[in-house]
Amino acid sequence: MTVKAIMVTILTDELTRRGVSSLTPYDCEEIVERLIERLTELELSLAAREITDARDP
């Protein structure tokens, strides 16, 4: 099972526990894909900030 599939399962389980049943498995997969994209962007931004901060005296 891939990390993405695990994340989709976790998201689906958490939404169900909170009474949200209107989202389809495809919706959950799209949400997870967007989360991964946003986390990747954040990681790159933080890495760039670290590099910039390391260069400044």
Q: What is the pTM of this model?
A: 0.81
Q: What is the pLDDT of residue 19?
A: 97
Q: Please tell me whether residue 22 adopts helix, strand or coil conformation.
A: coil
DSSP E strands in 1-57: the ranges are none
- Calculate the alpha carbon distances from 53 to 36, 42, 43, 50 in Å: 25, 16, 15, 5
Terminal-to-terminal C-alpha distance of the chain: 46
Q: Which amino acid is at 41?
A: E
Q: What is the pLDDT of residue 13?
A: 97
User: Tens-digit pLDDT profile for the chain (57 aa)?
Assistant: 899 999 999 999 999 999 999 999 999 999 999 999 999 999 999 999 998 888 876
> Residue ranges of the domains in the chain?
3-9+22-55
